[in-house]
């Protein structure tokens, strides 16, 4: 845990300023939101967890809602960036879908607490509703990619693309419930395994049947 002493500057304590930087405060707030739920986590709870006064937290963030907004944007911006990588916008649709799914797994592992928080918001505030709208837009883009892959004949066309999308992200999102960083499997190997399970049953062989 970071020191609760004032941050040092040129070897001297930085007087009157909290001993956490903005990122550290945000990381700890995200953990608290996940543990207690956003609604049940007051600024007092955060202050106690950080060992700071409420005013010290307000030095970094004007409100609890700002903490939530930045945390959710951390996850959403990373997921949205996956959709515009070069390999996700050019080539056969099935290959682009694989790139997006792999990218989603990598983002989930890299930003595990932030994605976990995103998956647990309920839309009770404007910040949450905005985040859910962005998440639905992401899902619609992936669903369109699945439909395109079906239309081009590289994925099975006998399953509704919307159902395929829900099943794919149901599997990927479940990673937050059991994955623990530092395990024996690398992020890329985890992504390989997810793609093998997710897509092998959907791909169409050159003979025209499911693989």
* 8-61 to CATH, choices 1.10.10.60, 3.30.450.40, 1.20.140.10, 1.20.1730.10: 1.10.10.60
Q: What is the mean pLDDT of the chain?
A: 85
Q: Looking at the domain 71-199, which fold is it?
A: Tetracycline Repressor; domain 2 (1.10.357)
Check whether 3 has a pLDDT greater than 80. no
Phi, psi of 204, deg, nearest 5? -105, 130
Q: What is the per-residue pLDDT across 51-87, written as a single tens digit (0 to 9) for each?
A: 888 888 888 899 999 999 999 999 999 999 999 999 9
Q: What is the pLDDT of residues 19-62, one digit of tens each?
A: 678 899 999 999 999 999 999 999 999 999 988 888 888 888 99
pLDDT for position 18: 47
Task: Using alpha carbons, list the distances in angstroms from residue 184 to 78, 177, 189.
Answer: 25, 17, 10
161-184 burial string, b = 16+ CB within 10 Å, else e? Answer: beebbeebbeebeebbeebeeeee
The whole-model pTM stands at: 0.82
Sign of CA dihedral 74, 77, 186, 113: positive
Alpha-carbon distance of 146 to 162, in angstroms, equals 8
Name the segment(s) of the chain with CATH classification 1.10.10.60.
Answer: 8-61
Distance CA 12, CA 5 (A): 11
End-to-end CA distance of the chain: 50
Token look-up 């006998």 returns 158
Give CATH 1.10.357.10 domain extents, the chain.
71-199
């Amino acid at each position: 845990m970071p020191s609760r002493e004032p941050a040092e500057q040129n070897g001297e304590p930085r007087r009157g300023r909290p001993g956490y930087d903005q990122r550290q405060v945000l990381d700890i707030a995200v953990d608290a939101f996940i543990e207690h739920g956003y609604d049940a986590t007051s600024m007092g709870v955060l202050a106690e967890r950080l060992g700071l006064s409420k005013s010290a937290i307000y030095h970094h963030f004007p409100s609890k809602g700002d903490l939530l907004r930045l945390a959710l944007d951390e996850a959403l911006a990373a997921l949205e960036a996956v959709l515009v990588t070069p390999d996700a916008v050019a080539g056969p649709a099935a290959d682009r879908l694989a790139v997006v799914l792999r990218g989603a797994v990598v983002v989930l592992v890299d930003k595990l607490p932030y994605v976990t928080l995103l998956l647990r918001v309920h839309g009770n505030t404007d910040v949450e509703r905005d985040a859910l709208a962005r998440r639905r837009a992401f899902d619609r883009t992936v669903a369109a990619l699945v439909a395109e892959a079906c239309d081009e004949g590289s994925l099975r066309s006998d399953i509704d693309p919307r159902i395929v999308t829900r099943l794919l992200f149901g599997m990927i999102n479940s990673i937050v419930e059991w994955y623990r960083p530092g395990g024996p499997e690398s992020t890329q190997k985890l992504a390989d395994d997810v793609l093998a399970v997710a897509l092998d049953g959907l791909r169409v062989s050159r003979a025209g049947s499911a693989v």
